[in-house]
Amino acid sequence: MADVFERKQTRQIHVGGIPVGGGAPVTVQSMTTTKTADVDGTLAQVYALRGAGADIVRITCNDVAAAQGLAEIVPRSPVPIIADIHFQYRLALAALEAGVAGLRLNPGNIRKPEHIKAVAVAAAERKVPIRVGVNAGSLDKDLLAKYGAPVPQALVESALHEIHLLEEAGFGDIKISVKHSHVPSMVASYRLLSETVDYPLHLGVTEAGPPPAGLMKSVAGIATLLLEGIGDTIRFSLTADPVEEAEAGRRLLEQLGLRERAGLDLIACPSCGRAEVDVITVVKEAQQVLEAENLPIQVAVMGCVVNGPGEAREADIGIAAGRGKGHLFIKGQVVRVVKEDEMVAALLDEARKLVEEGVEARLAAADAAAGEIAAATAADLLALRGDANRTAERRAAVAEVAGGE
């Protein structure tokens, strides 16, 4: 799928076998919430995150037991593992020894240059990249004193200082984040950083909080930057099951056209006075059965056949209700008519065939009379109920206002 906007070209690094930056697909990251010493529990969460769309997973390495856990987790993980390091630089060295594919260092709490350089030398020997993870909540006290608050300039200066130390040690496999919990400040920080460096950038709104507000904040910040061509890898930092983070990140990239659709995309009309079924109930039932199949298609559930197939003609497949029947359509063309109580079952059956056989084959197999039945049903509904949306009346009112003095 081609990008609909131009992405900034950054250097490319590799986190394990996953390329980041340099035009590579934007990747989704998340972080486990288990105790790393609980190897089986952590691995179970890593596998769940991979199944939800995570390409890379970060795991805390906060003590020796955690580092030892990483030594068991890394060779059994389905995705590259990044070790999250705070304060103790020796734990970064231990994580490298455990075989991690990447490190995340926070400049706000590993401050001695000699410690940072020691980690850089060890990472370079193993060809392991480092993320310079600046966080507004743990900014160095000298920078806070200088700027008075964690403003974008302070976050970027912190990142540049850390990068300088790594570069002095001859290390260049770097990616950077400048996370803030205030969305406008987060966006401004990344814009400034993107103008300053060509290292790949990891996007996120830190401490976004629980859904739905956390989702809204994350989408607002991350999507804004991605649409400007900024960003090479992302994480939704939610106060929730991390599986929700991975799912949200993957879906955002799919909606922006930055990744191919990997699972179901279900759309539905908001319903109106013309709806022939309880749209909400049908959508819930359809979502349940279709998500269980993990079909990588866009499916539409529409309340009535009057406008449903036309409004959702870009969907791969859909169904619209009308006078006790379900009108099944593919790319806007009605292909089957079924009983109302068979709508979801028929939708699932046809969706499976669509994925297996392709659009053209299923259109060729359409019931020749289905389109005529749908058109006749739509005409009957309009005659019976009139135009529930008062289209003609509203168009006339708009024309009057537009043509007035």
CATH number at residue 286: 3.30.413.10
Same domain, 76 and 204: yes
221-225: Cβ within 8 A, 24+ apart: 221/183, 221/186, 221/187, 222/252, 223/252, 223/256, 224/187, 225/187, 225/190, 225/191
Q: What is the CA radius of gyration of the chain?
A: 26
Same domain, 322 and 370: yes
Structure tokens at 278: 């309880």
CATH number, domain at 168?
3.20.20.20
Domain boundary among 255, 289, 316: 255
pLDDT digits (tens, 9 = 90+) for 263-276: 788 888 777 666 77
Phi and psi angles of residue 287, each rounded to the nearest 5 degrees, phi first = -60, -40
pLDDT digits (tens, 9 = 90+) for 138-171: 898 899 999 999 999 999 999 999 999 999 999 9
pLDDT digits (tens, 9 = 90+) for 105-147: 988 788 899 999 999 999 999 999 999 999 999 898 899 999 9
How far is it, in rounded angstroms, from Cα 368 to Cα 22?
50
Same domain, 279 and 242: no
3 state DSSP class of 177: strand
Same domain, 80 and 48: yes
- What pLDDT was estimated at residue 187? 98
- Range name among 185-189, 282-286, 300-304, 305-309 with the lowest pLDDT average: 305-309
Same domain, 71 and 198: yes
- What pLDDT was estimated at residue 2? 43
Per the domain annotation, does 145 fall within a domain? yes
Per the domain annotation, does 6 fall within a domain? no
Angle of helix 242-255 relative to helix 213-227, nearest 10 degrees, comes to 40
Same domain, 248 and 273: no
pLDDT band for 29, please (50, 70, 90 cuts). Answer: very high
Structure tokens at 318: 């859909």
For residues 104 and 59, is the Cβ–Cβ distance under 8 A? no
- What pLDDT was estimated at residue 1? 40
Same domain, 357 and 286: yes
Same domain, 359 and 380: yes
Same domain, 222 and 352: no
- Across the range 242-259, mean pLDDT stands at 94
Domain boundary among 255, 276, 293: 255
- Structurally, the chain folds into a number of domains equal to 2
- What pLDDT was estimated at residue 151? 97
Q: Which residue has the tokens 């969460």?
A: 45
Same domain, 203 and 279: no
pLDDT at 385 over 90: no
Residues in CB range of 383: below 8 A, 6 or more apart: none
- Across the range 7-34, mean pLDDT stands at 97
Whole-model pTM: value is 0.79
- What pLDDT was estimated at residue 314? 80
pLDDT at 335 over 50: yes
Q: What string of DSSP letters covers 268-283?
A: E----TT-SS-HHHHH
Same domain, 269 and 159: no
Per the domain annotation, does 226 fall within a domain? yes
Per the domain annotation, does 171 fall within a domain? yes
pLDDT digits (tens, 9 = 90+) for 76-101: 898 999 999 988 999 999 999 999 99
Per the domain annotation, does 401 fall within a domain? no
- Across the range 170-183, mean pLDDT stands at 97
Phi and psi angles of residue 148, each rounded to the nearest 5 degrees, phi first = 85, -10
Domain span holding position 241:
13-255
For 48, 162, 182, 239, 261, the CA distances from 251, given in Å and listed in that order, are 16, 33, 23, 18, 8
pLDDT at 233 over 60: yes
- Range name among 252-261, 304-313, 314-323 with the lowest pLDDT average: 304-313
Per the domain annotation, does 272 fall within a domain? yes
Q: Going by DSSP bridges, is the β-strand pair 298-302/325-330 parallel, antiparallel, or unpaired?
A: unpaired
How far is it, in rounded angstroms, from Cα 368 to Cα 289?
28
* Burial of 45 from C-beta contacts in 10 A (0-12 / 13-18 / 19+): buried
Per the domain annotation, does 394 fall within a domain? no
- Range name among 81-85, 224-228, 305-309 with the lowest pLDDT average: 305-309
Per the domain annotation, does 1 fall within a domain? no
How far is it, in rounded angstroms, from Cα 192 to Cα 158?
13
How far is it, in rounded angstroms, from Cα 68 to Cα 55?
23
Question: Mean of the per-residue pLDDT values for the chain?
Answer: 91
Q: What is the distance in angstroms between the CA of the first residue and the CA of the last residue of the chain?
A: 48
pLDDT at 15 over 90: yes
Same domain, 116 and 231: yes
- What pLDDT was estimated at residue 323? 80
Work out the angle at residue 289's Cα, subtended by the Cα atoms of residues 286 and 292, and round it to the nearest 5 degrees: 135
